[in-house]
Structure 1
Amino acid sequence: MTKQERAMNASKKNRDVLQPGPYDRRQFLKTTAAVGAAGVIGSALSLQSAQASTPKRGGVLRQALRGGATTDTLNGGTLQAAHPINVSWQLRNNLTEIDADGQVVGELAESWEASDNGKVWVFNLRKGVEFHNGKSLEAADVIHSLNLHRGEESESAVSGIMNAISDIKADGKQRVIVELANPNADFAFLMSDYHLVIGPEGTNGEQWDKGIGTGPFILEEWEPGVRALTKRNPNYFKDGMPYFDAVETLNIADVAARTSALQTGEVDVIEDPDLKTLHLLERLPGIDVLEVGGTRHFPYPMLKTASPFDDKDVQMALKLVVDREEWVEKILKGHGYVGNDHPVGRNQQFFADSLEQRVYDPDKARFHLKKAGYEDNLSVELVASDVYSGGVDAALLYQASAKAAGINIDVRRLPKDGYWSEVPLNVPWHVSSLAGRATIDWVMSVSYAADAPWNDTTWANERFNKLLKEARGVFDKAKRAEMYHEMQQLVRDDCPTVIPAFANFIACKTDKIGTPEKLASNSQLDGLKNCERWWFA
């Protein structure tokens, strides 16, 4: 039995209990196959935002997300895809979170203040917050949870950021003092990272999969890579939240299957719909399309230690043979904008809008190939997968546009399952997708710093790393803008990665789901916090 079948089978079992009604798994799979083959029937495009209504409690939210794997855990340090991240945030909280305006606000931390020019941060914890097991939240819980991401032995994806901390200590039970080795004006933003969820003191290893947290929902069932079932936390500290009685979260990797599940009423929400049929899906009665601009982008990272990607001219040639306008038009169907080979979105503070936009130029690419010693042509392999909607199609489009410069790109397709754990850093060149981060320092620190855990190119630029460190302690905005502009240029011109486009975050839901008037744009699904922020209208 496939993961999709197991997910839907388990879904039936719990729906009989939580939301009685007829259900035929065999018919669902049959319908899925039919829709996948025939496509969505309809016409016209008219993207719309959900109409906000007065939030009310009740109902079981059923959602189909992607990115899950059988190797997933609920240990914050290992999270890397929408399905487990969303489940984790149903169960746990951070010290801070990002609101719909892109600002950092308190979550478990009621307030905070910085001193010593941003080297010392004091977080004042909310009183009366309880874990699902009845234990009261204290400073010791926060210290334990954050310390798991520190040290040379830590395998956390954010160890690079957290190792900038020199000490974490308690000042009583409700205050946490964090001392940094160097100033960081954005430290409160960093505490909202989905890896840095807080669990009870002593939670280690497989204990994280029990799901004990302070979050809006309590874990009932967890099958990695397949599904999760959670129920409302009656003692949640956010007044009135959450609104749903329970949430069932399925991992459905296939976009046609997700779409069919929404159409047939098996789920209420899906993320990352197929952009090829989005305008048709939107026309169907009872379905809303939600779209917000964001920081999601699509790198093609090259390992600079692997030939021929170790050659600067080869890198530049590959940056010049991707037709960015065509990429946005054909892959994103216009739901995004061109990228400039760095990871900063144009809606972010300190975006370097003065940098010359790189454009498709096969003649100039040939010039760089000749400098690299390739007189006739260059043949390279690009590993691709539909880990995002259109991932393989984008690689094939890249392949087609590169031919004009004499570059032959052999696209090797791999399955979605296990792609993120098996491909990055293990193949010379691959298709990737990153959600971006709320600040420039953040995205640069996790993916472009020399010691970054997600540095998929193994790039190490001395000037870049010096600026990255220094800019963290600069509170003068003009000076900081100057430094971040230079860093964007260094990534654009020196880092062996191609970033052709940024995409809007898109999700689809039934019109029975109510949402806030403004959705967060730091990630998909209202910042991946839809389960606590949305409701049945």
Structure 2
Amino acid sequence: MTSHNRRKVRLITALAVGTSLLGLAACSSGLTAAPSDSSAMSSPKAGGNLRVGIVGGSAKDSLDAHSPVTHPDQARVIQLYDTLVSYDNDHKVQMALADKVTPSADATTWTVHLRAGLKFSDGKPITAEDVLFTFKRITDPASPMATATSLATLKRDEMTAPDAQTAVFTFSAPFATFPDIAAQYAAGIVPTGYDPKKPVSSGPFVLESFSPGQQSVFVKNPNYWRAGQPYLDKVTIIDFPDDTARVNALLGGQVDAIDQLPLGQVNVVKANPAIKVLESSTGSWLPFTMRVDQEPFNDPKVRQAFRLIVDRKQMVDQVLGGHGTVGNDMYAPLDACYPNNVPQRNQDIAKAKSLLAEAGKSNLSVDLVTSSAAAGLVESAQVFAEQAKAAGVTVNVKKVDPGEFYGDQYLKRTFSQDFWFTRDYLPQTSNSGFANSPYNETHWDDKAWSDLVAKAQATTDEAARCDLIKAAQEIEFDRGGYIIWGFPNSVDAHSASVNGLTPDKSGIPLTSYGFRNAWLAQ
């Protein structure tokens, strides 16, 4: 979940900020190619059409490599475009189109070397000029794309291509997390002159047809660089805004796999020997979003009170059916710098009522806008509304369909919700924390916090960077606009005939490898 009308980039960030940048700089080869992460299943079989039901979608569905909107958009992007680097199942960076990514000693310059023999789906070589075009498109000041804020210090006019396989990126300050950004699924490499309405693929599949709000069909990319992949001849992605219809399509054999299995259906699906459940622990999160620039949430006491209303264990148990972990109003739990030492915030109704009284907001009534755009959103809204009654707060739950939820009012609502996939802290802040971030859903604009994050972004020493990140996290814990009650597991399901899908900490295991690893038993 991404740039201006729900351009969501919320996947994984994985050079873990815990990886020492100085260690990378000290290696003459920098980041180097990892072994192919092929399917753990033996003897993959070629051929077949994988039909996949994906939650959400609308007439505004997009094919744009750099501005995916909904779950189906994200799934399409991952089929069509490979990134310079990517992530393994454990949230660790690995090489993709690049076989080497090397920082300068001060991390102000990054040199990317492409694999030999890369081609787009139309047969044109993938070159450094295409890499430069891609990043210039993403950071175009007239139309910045989803990851543009993360690349704010990129000197876009000073990028160079010394040869066809080498691209050099220069930044105005040390940029410790460049590989994190280059690995985002909305940073896929596209050809010079790219037309999103006629996509040319660098990924495992090529577009055959696209009906916004309905389905998209992809066929195997004959020029894909990973030997033998993809195994499938075709992938059909079908939009399913309705959870019940999506589950019934799987049980009835109309689709072979679905994402976001409703947690209330997990045991039902597990009881069917023809169906397998794919569950992964993740760093994904489903926040409540409070606009800090609008009443009543412009008062930090009200925000603090609302965070104290939540019974987090009840949320995880009731909303997620235990398929997740308790949150503490801070995101990026898989980040090596996550402040685990901050005391767990628990429900405290008496304190919440006291804070509301001090703010002159006793017996408060608020509207909460929710949607079935992600599993658990509607259920958590309903549970929160019940919990709030004890504090004298009336929460009016307003459910809208996914298309409206991520329509013109997205980022404008006073009290709402959202979903984010796994990310480390600094890349996440670029997407949602700054005044100019594409998804600043809480309208957070805090100078002390911004200064800390900017300094952390430019700090190459791991320990010093972690200290800065922890301090920034604690500011958001104290006065931020998020209520982060838990981290849901990713729970998907597929026919037993589908092989090659494995658990993945990204939060999107069903699509994180673009189905390139999947194969069908014949």
Aligned to 2:505: 521
Distance in structure 1 (CA, Å) of the matches to 2:61 and 2:327: 31
**Structure-1 residue corresponding to 2:24:** none
* Counterparts of residues 399-478 of structure 1 (less than 5 Å): 399-437=385-423, 439-478=424-463
Q: How far apart are the structure 1 equivalents of 2:388 and 2:356? A: 12
Amino acid at match of 2:264: K
Match of 1:170 among 151, 161, 164: 161
**One-letter identity of the residue aligned with 2:114:** L
In 1: Cα distance, 2:40 partner to 2:258 partner = 18
List per-residue Cα deviations over 1:270-321 (Å, max 9, x = no partner). 0001101211111111111011111110111111221111111111111111
CA contact (8 A) 1:381 1:412 kept: yes
Which residue is equivalent to 1:42?
none
TM-score w.r.t. length of structure 2: 0.89
Cα deviation for residue 450 of structure 1 reads 3.0
Give the Cα–Cα distance (whole angstroms) in 2 for the partners of residues 228 and 256 of structure 1.
21
Task: Say if 1:153 and 1:456 are closer, same or farther in 2 by CA, change over 3 A.
Answer: same
Residue 532 in 1 paired to residue 516 in 2? Answer: yes
Contact 1:98 1:189 (C-alpha < 8 Å) held by counterparts: no
Deviation for aligned residue 1:472: 2.0
Q: Select which of 486, 493, 500 maps to 1:508.
A: 493
Offset of 1:430 from its aligned partner? Answer: 0.6
Give the drift of 1:530.
4.4
Partners of 1:371 and 1:305 in 2: CA distance: 19
Q: Whole-Å Cα distance in 2 between the matches of residues 449 and 52 of structure 1?
A: 43
- Aligned counterparts of 1:209 and 1:525: Cα–Cα separation in 2: 27
Q: Structure 1: which amino acid aligns with 2:352? A: A
Pairing of 1:23-422 with structure 2 (within 5 A): 52-167=41-156, 168-203=159-194, 207-345=195-333, 347-374=334-361, 376-422=362-408
3-state DSSP class of the match of 1:258?
helix
Q: Distance in 1 between matches of 2:164 and 2:230?
A: 27
Higher helix share: 1
Distance 2:364 2:412 in 1: 21
Letter of the structure 2 residue corresponding to residue 179 of structure 1 = T
- Measure the CA separation in 1 of the matches of 2:63 and 2:274: 34
Moved more, 352-361 or 151-160: 151-160
Deviations 1:54-111 (A, max 9, x none): 3221211110002322112211232132211111221111111111221111111111
**Contact kept? 1:51, 1:514, Cα under 8 Å:** no
Q: Contact between 2:50 and 2:235, CA under 8 Å: does it hold in 1? A: yes
Q: What RMSD in Å do the two structures reach over aligned CA positions?
A: 1.6
How much has 1:484 moved relative to structure 2? 1.5
Task: Count residues with an aligned counterpart.
Answer: 481
Task: Go from structure 1 to structure 2 and tell me whether the alpha carbon gap of 1:59 and 1:520 turns closer, same or farther (over 3 Å shift).
Answer: same
Using the TM superposition, give the Cα deviation of residue 146 of structure 1 relative to its aligned residue in structure 2, in angstroms: 1.1
**Aligned counterpart, 2:478:** 493
Contact between 2:287 and 2:485, CA under 8 Å: does it hold in 1?
A: yes
Partner SS for 2:365 = strand
Q: Distance between the aligned counterparts of 2:379 and 2:55, measured in 1?
A: 18
Q: CA deviation at 1:477?
A: 2.4
State the TM-score, normalizing by the size of structure 1: 0.87
* Aligned-partner residue type, residue 388 of structure 1: A
- Could you tell me which amino acid in structure 1 is paired with residue 337 of structure 2? F
The DSSP-based 3-state class of the residue aligned with 1:444 is helix
- Which amino acid counterpart does residue 134 of structure 1 have in structure 2? G
Deviations 1:338-370 (A, max 9, x none): 11112122x332121101111111100011011
Shift of residue 474 of structure 1?
A: 2.5
| Contact 1:384/1:391 (8 A) holds in 2 | yes
CA distance in 1, matches of 2:264, 2:87: 31
Shift of 1:251: 0.7
Aligned mates of 1:451, 1:235 — CA distance in 2: 38
Secondary structure, aligned partner of 1:165: coil
Q: Where in structure 2 are there 5+ consecutive unaligned residues?
A: 1-38
Question: Is the CA contact 1:117–1:473 (under 8 Å) kept in the aligned structure 2?
Answer: no
- Matches of 1:88 and 1:54, distance apart in 2: 28
Greater Cα offset, 239-248 or 408-417: 408-417
Distance 2:237 2:401 in 1: 22
Distance in 2 (alpha carbons) for counterparts of 1:310 and 1:68: 33
Given that residues 296 and 433 in structure 1 are in contact (C-alpha distance below 8 angstroms), is that contact kept between their aligned partners in structure 2? Answer: yes
For 1:390 and 1:217, the matched residues in 2 are separated by 31
1-structure distance, mates of 2:271, 2:282: 24
1:513 aligned partner, one-letter code: V
Give the Cα separation in 1 of the matches to 2:266 and 2:514. 21
Show CA shifts across 1:477-502 (max 9, x none). 22222222111111111112211111
Please give the alpha-carbon distance, in whole angstroms, between the structure 1 residues aligned to 2:223 and 2:449. Answer: 46
SS in 2 for 1:229: strand
Aligned-pair CA distance for 1:116: 4.1
